[in-house]
Amino acid sequence: IPGAVLLALAVAGFVMNRKRVFAGISMGWVLVSFLLLCVLGWGTAENGLTLYTLYFGWAYAALLVYLVESVLRAIGLARFSWIVYALGMAALLTVNLPQMLALVRFAITYYPI
C-alpha cells in the first residue's frame, strides 16, 4: 500500500509539472522501475529490492519535490516549503533511526576494532 501511494504521488507530481523536461525524464525512470520490479518482478526473488532504491529513488524524490512545490505554490505558501521538507526529513529520520542504530550495534558486535 505505501508503494502504491508513493507511485500515485509521483504520477501526480509529473502531471502537475509535465512541461518540465526533468519531470519527464523522472517519470520515464519511474515507469522503468515499475516495469522491472512490478511487472517483470526482477530482483524480488532474491529480495534485492533495497538495492533498486539507489537506482530509482532519485526519480521518485524529484517528482515528490515537484508535487510539494506545485501544491504549495497553488495555495500561496511556496515560501514555507522548507517547513514541509524539514518535516519530511524528520519523519524519515524517525522511521530509519532504529534500523541505523541496529546496524551500528551489529557492526560493533561482529566487527570489533
Comparing CA positions, the residue from 58, 17, 51 lying closest to residue 36 is 51
Q: Look at residue 83 in the predicted model and tell me its pLDDT.
A: 93
Q: Look at residue 39 in the predicted model and tell me its pLDDT.
A: 82
Q: Look at residue 18 in the predicted model and tell me its pLDDT.
A: 95
Alpha-carbon span 23 to 37, nearest angstrom: 21
User: Could you read off the pLDDT of 18-76 as tens digits, one per residue?
Assistant: 999 999 999 999 999 888 888 887 766 666 666 677 788 899 999 999 999 999 999 99
Q: Look at residue 95 in the predicted model and tell me its pLDDT.
A: 92
Comparing CA positions, the residue from 99, 105, 68 lying closest to residue 84 is 68
Q: Which of 6-20, 35-49, 85-99 has the lowest mean pLDDT?
A: 35-49
Task: Tell me which of 83 and 41 has the higher pLDDT.
Answer: 83
Query: Which cell numbers in the block locate residue 97?
Result: 533511526
Query: Can you tell me which residue has the cell 524480488?
Result: 44
Calculate ∠ Cα 86-51-23, nearest 5°: 55
Query: Can you tell me which residue has the cell 515499475?
Result: 34
